[in-house]
Structure 1
């Protein structure tokens, strides 16, 4: 079966009629349907599937064991995301198994496909939640208290999915099973387009994080309250959107984005009593990322004071710069005939695992250069080229 056929089979799942694209979030109905699809497809290939204590799926070719060659990605999406971010890596891994079997290949060491849950953080706000729990980089008690927009906690969602919330947390046994991890992903940018290459390897991931800014003022009537009498938190929140752009523009190669604003109570004829705003900031290293956030935080404090409001800044997640294992990266590039290596501004489970096990990533060309949006794309030919490249890599590592 082709990558395109596998992706076509899940195309109806999680379609977002309001935003466009897909909304598939950790342990919601769409995500559970995708997990069932993966389990079925793995079973068709004779792979044995198990679920670990943090909700990651593992499909084993042969007997499970330590020091395995592991590939895979995730199946969840951002709100209104594209069809390729995550699912391409899972579908390509399944096709890579087919290709290796067609070649008569038998792994000389354990080999598995894994699917990490809630990589995007689209439901509970913490990206790479499954891999963070596995590696112990997030406190399980804190994670279990995370809530989605409807007020359900992660503990609620795990129980709904048939998992035991009491068992989540660092999983040393699972980590020992990963001898090397290779994640295939659609490129989130135009590097491969400009280089004219269908496949590349990742060099590094920018330092990045998410911060919540909460502005509090005084809720009041939009028509009865004079401008001079207002303490409107929407004004400093709006100012921070502009301040984020200015702060990022002043630091070469950095990015700062406000993609979500939630006013309370949210009425058209009501001055908000509070406004929550989420900031995503990224730069080449920790110092530059922190400098951008510090500049934005200072602007937020100044803007809030000018309007008679208060502001708090809370770091919700952070990942320092990741440079993928250079020897492994060069080895895989050589296996694939010297494909280009390039950095990425996007975070991945592979980036979380890189601090614990040798990790690499393969990118598949994205002709639009757009990701986290419905126009994200990869051609069928490039998807198949990615699966073939992954098969070559797995054969090399598991020979």
Structure 2
């Protein structure tokens, strides 16, 4: 972790900003390849820009572990990289014990897990599993208008090859992802490591409010069609509606007015809503209620609103037998649900999948305060090594 501590440090936001195919993420990819090759692992990059490092010959029914290296804007140091570093550390631990895997074993780094550049989370694993249309993925744009296809070409990869990768899916016999916990479960349990039980149903929606751009000083209040007003009301309504749903969460973390001048009434305002709850019905109901409210708010200001679903994932329940096997290997490690999405959640519909969580003493994630103590990181790496030893041996 210390070797990459300066890569992608964000001086404006604090924390780290590492997004797919940008300079920081490229540097992290190069670092991973160097680390893997130094361990004698065979490195390949698949058609969806995910990196694989193989211990032994690549083949079907492999035991696969890993995570991602990208971050949200201004994110913490551990979200993603801890899983990659722990996978490499687990290889070191197993080799030190003289272990040789009887099944193929691989460490994978998934591309664009956070969606911090192109808006769709877990893009690399979604493409791998075919849960996002390749044409849609190629057309995704970052805030500067660069498409995913263009960014991929600049990276030296071929966007024409994007899409479901059946060969890669067949190679995964079991997938285990280690991740820093994004919550307080292990703090309250006073345990360093847990296994995952489920992931909340969650998605992202864009609300585009359209009005009439105009001069802030020359336009009377009565003559305005200002999309910022209904957009602002929606932010408050999201909190109100989510508070009425058991386990509901609704967040507006990004709001972009166009053209964005201080003395300009916006012509459009885009809001991105992140909505989550323990089940599909409640999540969909929250978004339906908010969409209706948005239409009312827009009409009251003489504006319009368009709602677009950008990504969605139903509730994921990890395979109970696999989860219990891992918990038993780790001395009856507790099982915890999570409100955060992960590549493991995308792959769960295709292959047996499990997750390990490492304690975060702050309980904070997606922010610079995210943390994990060295001793707990070591516990996580040893736990992952024990799991890989059992599965691959």
The equivalent of 2:51 in structure 1 is 57
Confirm whether residue 36 of structure 1 aligns to residue 30 of structure 2: yes
Tell me, in whole angstroms, the C-alpha distance in 1 between the residues paired with 2:281 and 2:223: 40
| Matched residue, 2:113 | 119
* d(CA) in 1 for partners of 2:243, 2:112: 31
Alpha-carbon offset, residue 264 of structure 1: 0.5
Equivalent residue for 1:98, pick from 76, 92, 98:
92
CA distance, structure 1, for counterparts of residue 157 and residue 265 of structure 2 = 42
Q: 2:325 aligns with which of 309, 331, 334?
A: 331
Instruction: Please report how far the alpha carbon of residue 376 of structure 1 lies from its aligned counterpart in structure 2 after TM superposition.
Output: 0.2
Q: Secondary structure at the match of 2:196?
A: strand
Q: Partners in 2 of 1:287 and 1:242 — Cα distance?
A: 22
Map of 1:202 onto structure 2:
196
Is 1:217 matched with 2:218? no
Matched pairs, number: 393
Alignment of structure 1 residues 95-244 onto 2, 5 Å: 95-244=89-238
Q: Provide the secondary structure at the position in 2 that maps to 1:22.
A: coil
| Aligned residue in 1 for 2:350 | 356
Shift of 1:72: 0.1
Partner Cα distance (1:305, 1:195) in 2: 49
Q: Runs (4+) of structure 1 moved beyond 4 Å?
A: none
SS in 1 for 2:144: coil
Q: CA RMSD in A?
A: 0.5
Q: Distance in 2 between matches of 1:18 and 1:66?
A: 45
Listed as ranges, the gaps of 5+ residues in structure 1 are 1-6
Could you tell me how far apart the structure 1 residues matched to 2:194 and 2:247 are? 21
Distance 2:332 2:325 in 1: 9
The residue correspondences of 1:289-308 to structure 2 (distance < 5 A) are: 289-308=283-302
Deviation readout 1:221-253 (Å, 9 max, x if unpaired) = 111111111100000000000000011001010
Shift of residue 151 of structure 1? 1.1
Give yes or no for the alignment of 1:319 onto 2:309.
no
Aligned to 1:282: 276
Q: Give the match for residue 369 of structure 1.
A: 363
- Equivalent residue number for residue 346 of structure 1: 340
Aligned counterparts of 2:15 and 2:154: Cα–Cα separation in 1: 25
Q: Does 1:67 align with 2:26?
A: no
| Of 74, 83, 87, the match for 2:77 | 83
1:25-78 deviation digits (Å, cap 9, x = unpaired): 011111110000000000111101000000000000010000100000000000
Return the TM-score normalized by structure 1: 0.98
